[in-house]
Amino acid sequence: MMARDPELKKELDATLQTRKELGPEYESELIEAFLEKVERKVEQKLDGTVDKRVRRHLAEQQMTVARGGRPRAGDPDPGGFGERFGFAAVSLVLAIPLSAIAVVNAGLSGLLVSWAGIVGVNVAQSAGGFPWRRGRKKEEPDWE
């Protein structure tokens, strides 16, 4: 998806060419600037995806209400997948700066620790959510 983005490929080529010209003393600044561009691109893509999903979900709700019905209690939650996907996507977007900070400050061991935390949070969320959310019930709207 992002690997085939021609704009990012041009940015990477320009960053590498600039590194050749300026030398290794500016490497960390160049990497940081490139990572910020990648993060912005990922955020734009994520925002577009989230907007599309929200519009679709709202349209489905309006169709259900227009037909005079309301979601039944046994129906699967249509936002369940979206919530999990959104959580995973946001954690990956946040992983970019966390990885850069970890590598700069602690090297490879810092990178491994930060990714272990990211993976742990995603595993905990996908395995049934966080313990403090398990006891809550979703409130159904009370209109009819």
Parse the chain into domains and list their residue ranges.
1-69, 77-134
How high is the pLDDT of residue 74? 46
pTM of the model: 0.39
DSSP per residue over 97-137, as a string? Answer: HHHHHHHHHHHHHHHHHHHHHHHHHHHHHHTT--HHHHTPP
Cα atoms in the 13 Å half-sphere on the side-chain side of 83:
8
DSSP, res 138: P
Q: In the Cβ-directed half-sphere of 14, how many Cα atoms lie within 13 Å?
A: 9
Cα R_g (the chain), whole angstroms: 21
Residues 6+ apart with CB under 8 A from 6: none
Per-residue pLDDT tens, the chain, 144 aa: give them. Answer: 455 788 888 988 998 999 899 888 888 898 898 889 888 888 888 888 888 999 998 888 888 777 766 554 444 554 466 777 788 888 888 888 888 998 899 889 999 999 999 888 888 887 776 555 555 555 555 454
